[in-house]
Amino acid sequence: MRKNHEIDFKIIGEELQCVEIELDPQETAVGESGSFMMMDEGIIMETIFGDGSEQPGGFFQKMVSAGKRLLVGESLFMTAFTNHAAIKQRVTFAAPYPGKIIPMDLQALNGKIICQKDAFLCAAKGVNIGIEFQKKLGTGLFGGEGFIMEKLEGDGMAFVHAGGIVVEKTLQIGELIKIDTGCIVAFTSGIDYDIQFVKGIKNMVFGGEGLFFATLRGPGKVWIQSLPISRLASRVIAYGGFKRKEEGSVLGGLGNLLDGDS
């Protein structure tokens, strides 16, 4: 029997997705600040301190747990949505940028997943949203995600968001894959996460892929995104700061047409 609230859900859309969660009477879902989209009349929204999970040790322990969220760039507060009606009601959460919403049943994933710092979207009440420290110095310094990642624990449903398309891989014992450090979305607790130096002077200087790979070794599951938000943001910034020579000239539109930019 689950300790966390049991929720039904439906993911809507393709490139810009949202997740509709169906709540039975007195069931609650918690969402990251800014993820709310819409809800039925019978649902009451409440801002809560921390993630709403049962924390041993009273208020002080809850304050410490909530404070850790600041280390992963999240807010001290989350929003809880509880169905106070006598019938089923729905609340919907939206993804912050183009990509996919990944439903994760923590009960089927041995109760814990580790994910990138901005991946969490929403979850059933009772799921603990904490932090995971990288114990290896090299992984923390060069792994792309830093020393601190997000940790989701419990036996309920949690939803994380990734950019672009998502590839899910199941690694067997000892099986290893190399990944761009920014493309990691999440992995189960049995995965060994490390970094590997890119070999070859030409690869390092001219390869454009950075100096390090992330290495993930099984057993366990791994979720990989094709478009990290950091990569998308850097391209947008680079494009926004670039001014074509012909812009503002009488040949500007023609030049764009000839080189395929129109």
**Helix and strand element counts for the chain (H, E):** 5, 19
Closest listed residue to residue 180, CA positions, set 209, 218, 147: 209
Task: Count CB-CB contacts under 10 A for residue 125.
Answer: 23
Exposure of 57 in the CB half-sphere (CA atoms within 13 A): 7
**Residue 51 falls in which region: left (phi positive, over 0), alpha (psi -120 to 50) or beta:** alpha
Residue percentage of the chain with pLDDT more than 70: 70
8-240: CATH class: alpha beta
| CA 22/CA 32 separation, integer angstroms | 17
For residue 174, pLDDT over 60 is answered with yes
* Confidence at 40, pLDDT banded by 50, 70, 90: very high
Q: pLDDT tens digits for 71-113? A: 555 556 789 999 999 999 999 999 888 899 999 999 999 999 9
| CA 147/CA 72 separation, integer angstroms | 10
